Chain A
Amino acid sequence: MAGRMRMRARMSGDVAEVKVLMQHPMETGQRKDSEGKPIPAHYIKEVMATLGDRTVMAAQWGAAISQNPYLSFRIKDAKKGDTVKVSWTDNKGETASTEAKIG
């Protein structure tokens, strides 16, 4: 299951504000299902954001980020029309990525 992502990037003054919503269960591995069996951990471990060939943000996550993670960050030295790309990798090796033009 490659989760979907939604992203918006727009100039706010001289900074590009990026907002990303990722679809992911973010299971901690500490919950049990209705039959009392542990639900295996399943969470995003790594998030990368690039602008052209430049890395503008990299994150390492644990399972404590909320389900369907939201992330916002701000890029200086960006301009309208530039493309921001964000991708994630979870603890099962699944990945997803999306890109958006700065508006």
Chain B
Amino acid sequence: MDAYRRSLLKAVGAATALAAAGMVPLRALAAMSRPEKAFEATDPQGAMTALGDSAAESDQIELETPDIAENGAVVPISVTSKLPKTTRISVLVEKNPNPMSAMFMIPEGTEPFIQTRVKVAETGNIYALVEADGKLYKASSQTKVTLGGCGG
């Protein structure tokens, strides 16, 4: 675990304690854990590195994306993690100007599942990055785009 993650965990821990004491709204708690560096990265590797140690491929992550997307502006995606103690699910789109698209925090009592729609600039991989029991895992799937999702 690198220094960035350690300080992040510390900040989140402190915020949780404050939130529990009713001192800061929960919204502030979510704001504190925004991985800005990952969102600013311009390639998937940079974004993944910003999220933590290198992720291991896992067949316990079900990533559903269309093989072919006619409209890259609206590409349905769902991620289900079968990894125990899943706490976070992130979605990255390889060829987008900023690949990091979303991070979902999954507390205990919520299923490790999310479904949404993303923009995909051009044919490439979509990655699901899952944090489970403090470790990172990933799965990827290629989506072929007929009409790009970021044009004017």
Question: Nearest CB to that of A70 among chain B residues?
Answer: B117
Q: How large is the interface on A (under 10, 10 to 19, 20 to 34, 35 or more residues)?
A: 20 to 34
Inter-chain contact A28/B115, CB cutoff 8 Å: no
Inter-chain contact B117/A62, CB cutoff 8 Å: no
Question: Nearest CB to that of A32 among chain B residues?
Answer: B152
Chain A binder among B55-63, B98-106, B137-145? B98-106
Q: How far is the CB of B129 from chain A (nearest CB, A)?
A: 13
Task: Tell me if A89 counts as interface (CB < 8 A to partner B).
Answer: yes
Inter-chain contact B100/A62, CB cutoff 8 Å: yes
Contacts of A15 in B (CB 8 A): 111
Q: How many A-B residue pairs have CB under 8 A?
A: 114
Q: How far is the CB of A12 from chain B (nearest CB, A)?
A: 11
Inter-chain contact A57/B101, CB cutoff 8 Å: no
Question: Nearest CB to that of A61 among chain B residues?
Answer: B102
Task: Tell me if B130 counts as interface (CB < 8 A to partner A).
Answer: no
Interface flags, B59-75, vs A, CB<8A=1, else 0 = 00000000000000111
Contacts of B109 in A (CB 8 A): 54, 56, 75-77
83-122 of chain B: CB within 8 A of chain A: 93, 96-98, 100-107, 109-111, 113-119
Given contacts A50-B26, A62-B101, contact A69 B113 (CB under 8 A): no
Q: Which of A58, A69, A74 contacts B117 (CB 8 A)?
A: A69
Q: How far is the CB of B147 from chain A (nearest CB, A)?
A: 13
Interface flags, B13-55, vs A, CB<8A=1, else 0 = 0000000000000110111011100010000000000000000
Give A5 to B97 CA distance when docked, in angstroms. Answer: 28
Given contacts A73-B113, A74-B110, A76-B111, contact A58 B96 (CB under 8 A): no
Q: How far is the CB of A62 from chain B (nearest CB, A)?
A: 5
61-97 of chain A: CB within 8 A of chain B: 61-67, 69-77, 87, 89
Inter-chain contact A28/B104, CB cutoff 8 Å: no
Contacts of B150 in A (CB 8 A): 28, 30-31
Inter-chain contact B152/A31, CB cutoff 8 Å: yes
Inter-chain contact B34/A73, CB cutoff 8 Å: no
Inter-chain contact B116/A72, CB cutoff 8 Å: yes
Contacts of A56 in B (CB 8 A): 107, 109-110
Q: How far is the CB of A3 from chain B (nearest CB, A)?
A: 16
Contacts of B27 in A (CB 8 A): 46, 48, 87, 89
Give A62 to B41 CA distance when docked, in angstroms. Answer: 11
Given contacts A32-B152, A71-B114, A71-B116, contact A64 B98 (CB under 8 A): yes
